[in-house]
Amino acid sequence: MMARGCATYVCNWGKRVEWATAESVQPAKSSFVTVVAWIFIALDGLASFVGLLQNIVVNMVFPFDQLLDGIAKAQTADRLPPWFGSLVAHIRLFLFVMLVYSVIKLAAAIGLLNRRNWARLLFIGILGLGVAWSFFGILLQQYFVSSIMTMPMPRNAPQDFNAMMEGMMIAIRAVSALFAIGFAVLYVWMIRKLMSPAIVAEFA
């Protein structure tokens, strides 16, 4: 009986050692994932709240029909670029899509904080979309700025008005392109970090 009891004790002790060893080899949680997750939780939590308020205001409070009538009249008089009316007409859909996008990013950030692999993959996809949008936004801005520059000059404008506008638009284009490229490089670096073996091991 004593021998059997000793054998049982040794067996249980061995299992405890195995469990302790298994727990000790678990990869430590990197500060990179934690910091990135909390940053996006804060940003997208705020963006989701603001987006919800925007959707409520646009759909329930704002006199949307009167605004569209005023824009149509201004476009008839060539005081607004041609794309402006279409942009405002779809502002409700745009704000709703941005709200959904913010909520998805918030969910991905929370999952990333909890080391869920689906959240890591979703977050990589979101960052990839951000890279594509950075470069597409540069092209979109070029179109918008070019269409604004074709608008007629305001009455009583100074003689060098067009030169001033061109200089300002060039500066806006340059700064916006630098920011877009900077964010694209940052997102690519974050994607590479999230795909590194050390980070992937945290989500196993």
Span 148-166, pLDDT tens digits = 666 666 666 666 666 777 7
Q: How is the chain split into domains, by residue range?
A: 31-114, 127-204
Q: What is the pLDDT of residue 169?
A: 77
Span 76-85, pLDDT tens digits = 655 666 666 6
Cα 145 to Cα 139: distance, rounded to the nearest angstrom:
10
Which residues have a Cβ under 8 Å from the Cβ of 64 and sit 6 or more positions away?
A: 58, 92
Write down the pTM of the prediction.
0.74
Cα 204 to Cα 25: distance, rounded to the nearest angstrom:
12
